[in-house]
A = this chain, B = another copy of it.
Amino acid sequence: MPRWEPNAVGRLHDAALDLFTEQGYDQTTVAQIAARAGLTERTFFNHFSSKREVLFGRTSEIQKQVLTREIHASPANLRPIDMVVRALRAAADEVLEEFREPAAPRRVIIEATPELQEREEAKRAALTAAMADALRERGLDADTALLAAGAGLLIQQAAEQRWIQPEERRPLRDLIDEALSSLRSVTGTDAV
């Protein structure tokens, strides 16, 4: 069992983000991250299997649980996309909103680092699959479930992109609603 260290995951995440920003991802070692966090390398490896994992932590696991729970708990009369958006709003409030401050520098590092981009894409795919599974468990056919979950992910990405802008002050949940409207307007329903 890992020895208990107060908020070790959060301290390692913040230390890693600072070091990646200051000196680059490739130039940063696990030893440096642990030292900056005031923890040992051993504690690092109690929580993360590699440097690649440190910016991801358990957030996406918890996010997945909230999305699944909320889709299961949706009123039966909601349309699939509205079940998804309701779940995304809950995950925004319960999981993501408190990480608003580090979200922008975190995004910069991920986009500059191919192996973190791959990790991020895998995380997104896992969230989409979890939403699609939950929608199928609500009785949707597989094709509709995948489209609704994929549209949900797109809404989430568009909302996060706005959320990390320095001038943006609205909570993520509101930006999710806005992104749904934008997606509807971009896809349209009338022929050209």
Contact = CB atoms under 8 A, between A and B. Distances in A.
Interface of A: 77-82, 114, 117-118, 121-122, 124-125, 143-144, 146-148, 150-151, 154, 157-158, 161-162, 179-180, 182-184, 186-189, 192
A118 B81 CA distance: 26
Contacts of A78: 192
Contact of A154 (B124, B147, B189, B192): B147
A-B pairs, 8 with minimum CB distance: A121-B121, A150-B154, A147-B186, A118-B118, A184-B189, A189-B189, A148-B186, A82-B192
Given A143-B162, A157-B150, A158-B147, A186 B122 contact: no
Copies in the complex: 2
In this complex, the member of A79, A146, A147, A183 whose beta carbon has the largest number of chain B beta carbons within 10 angstroms is: A147
A143 B79 contact: no
